[in-house]
A = this chain, B = another copy of it.
């Protein structure tokens, strides 16, 4: 089957290619009557502009890129990325922008992918996740002048806009809630320590614990996987001075922690209260259902996509707070026995 081109439309409408192009793009240069005729012919023959031709003549590629830099095994299980992706799609799809995905192993490979995409003119901008302190990707993006938005922060990303959520406020709320329930020994199992938002959360956790006079508030670093979550939980629970509540940096580790507690014969929430960061169906799936710090990840992703499209269109984009976090209490938290 042959793809229709603007030349086909031009022939059928009895006008030139140029007129068709003006008509289709809503630009002046054709009469209203001609525009309507051309649009109806385009509709009729099912015309879609060849994206390559469009991209080639200096216009947009109408695609944005996303690199995912986590091992496959954890990518799969974490609902976070898929939630984000479906949020992107909501905005991108509406403007028929495509999303190009690349799974990589290291930040260095991410940089390579950015360079390649840029060289190939394959994408108009990128969404950057898992931002680190002094992230090596930022200077490259600036050098290439590749429009971008960073998911996460706040932190130093120079002129590149960040879409962030109030992690500090959220963890403060969670700790206050646990203290209100009567907990004094609260621990935390964190995500990858190198990531900016992990550091922000750790700082906030330490601050609020200090402010509330909780002295043995410890953060054990992990990496978002269930295995590390289990290990960290065991380490916390076998110690003499066992915490009565643990806050996990993601849902997967929280579920793993719950399993460890059950396996050790501890009752949740009787002996141990559990709070998960990022609510997902996973949290309401297990027994007892997990108290979680919820935010609308999809909306977060949609916001990020929107800001990236703004950046691509040359509008300057400031940092935006999105995905308001709130505590959703469920069965995994209660006053300590």
Contact = CB atoms under 8 A, between A and B. Distances in A.
A122 interface: yes
A50 B103 contact: no
A14 interface: no
A226 B259 contact: no
Interface residues of A, number: 72
A121 B83 contact: no
A95 B280 CA distance: 35
A3 interface: yes
A87 B75 CA distance: 12
B99 A101 contact: yes
Given A89-B103, A287-B259, A46 B121 contact: no
Interface in A257-309: 258-260, 262-263, 280-282, 284-287, 289, 297-298
A89 B104 CA distance: 9
A48 B89 contact: no
Contact of A52 (B52, B100, B143, B226): B52
Nearest to A78: B82
Interface string A105-125: 000000000011011111000
A49 interface: yes
Q: How many copies does the complex hold?
A: 2
Interface stretch (A29-37, A53-61, A210-218): A53-61
A255 B285 contact: yes
Contacts of A260: 287
A76 interface: yes
Contact of A77 (B55, B61, B79, B120): B79
A23 interface: no
A72 interface: yes
Contacts of A49: 119-120
Nearest to A260: B287
Contact of A96 (B54, B116, B225): B116
Contact of A56 (B53, B76, B227): B53
Contact of A55 (B3, B52, B225): B52
A200 interface: no
Given A98-B100, A99-B102, A122-B98, A285 B252 contact: yes
B287 A262 contact: yes
A96 B112 CA distance: 12
16 contacts: A1-B143, A3-B121, A46-B115, A48-B119, A50-B56, A51-B120, A52-B122, A63-B100, A75-B86, A85-B103, A89-B103, A98-B100, A98-B102, A98-B122, A256-B285, A260-B287
Interface of A: 1, 3-4, 46-56, 61, 63, 72-77, 79-83, 85-87, 89, 93, 96, 98-104, 115-116, 118-122, 143-145, 225-227, 230, 252, 255-256, 258-260, 262-263, 280-282, 284-287, 289, 297-298
